[in-house]
Amino acid sequence: MKKTTVSNYRYQSVFGEMVFDEISVQIPDTCDPRKIRRADALEGIDYSLSVSEIKKMERDLALSYFSKCYRVIMLGERTISVEELKGIQDILNVNRSEFGKLLGLHKGSVTNLFKGKAMKPSLCILIMERLGMELGRPGSARHMLDGGNPEAQVPEARKIINQTRYFRSQAA
């Protein structure tokens, strides 16, 4: 397989549709990458998109969704649909039980949400806040689920803190 970059690539998700430039696609070896500059030329070709490219596009779409809908949801004029909820779950990169933990919900309540049960406005706001947090700082949902303990990720920091304590106790 060969990689090539195309412009004018139209990508659609539950958050809407957007046209992207500089999207890297993988095409079969038999195709000439010089002839494929625009997304229209991909018509009829068995091309594939890498997960990192898909994530990039999904994040951009989610960002536009967030900036468009956060205020409306906060004012209680709109709620989150099941499809959007699945999209948010994809962006957070968590499974349903983890999604429940992030929202402080029981497993059964999460299942009900995904079955289309009406959501309280406060829950909608919390979901949007979790989405905003993830978009602002990728990986923060996972970090929160892991206990939000930065020391566990930076053993050097732990070592320095322990050393400082040791010197302090010596001085005392």
Partner 1 sequence: MKLTDARTLLKEIRNKDERISIRPHAWKDHPERKFSPLELVRLLQGKGGLHDNKYPTAAAGSFLWICRDEDGRKTELAIVFEADKSGDLIVIIHAYREIGNEKNNSK
- Which member of 21, 46, 77, 151 binds partner 1 (CB under 8 A)? 46
Contact present, 144 and 102 (Cβ < 8 Å):
yes
Please give the Cα distance from 113 to 119 (Å, whole number).
7
Site for partner 1 in 19-38 (CB under 8 A): 26
Burial class of residue 51 (count of CB atoms within 10 Å of its CB; 0-12, 13-18, 19+): exposed
Contact present, 28 and 45 (Cβ < 8 Å):
yes
Please give the Cα distance from 7 to 20 (Å, whole number).
7
CB under 8 A: which stretch of 64-72, 85-93, 127-135, 148-156 binds partner 1? Answer: 85-93
Query: Is 171 a binder of partner 1 (CB under 8 A)?
Result: no
CB under 8 A: which stretch of 1-9, 68-76, 129-137, 149-157 binds partner 1? Answer: 1-9
The distance of closest approach from Cβ of residue 50 to partner 1 in the complex, given in angstroms and rounded to an integer, is 5
Query: Is 8 a binder of partner 1 (CB under 8 A)?
Result: no
Please give the Cα distance from 83 to 13 (Å, whole number).
10
CB under 8 A: which stretch of 71-79, 89-97, 123-131, 151-159 binds partner 1? Answer: 89-97
Contact present, 141 and 102 (Cβ < 8 Å):
yes
Site for partner 1 in 98-157 (CB under 8 A): 114-115
Structure tokens, 122: 């406060």
By CB under 8 A, name the binding residues for partner 1: 1-3, 13-14, 26, 46-52, 54-55, 58, 83, 86-87, 90-91, 93, 95-96, 114-115
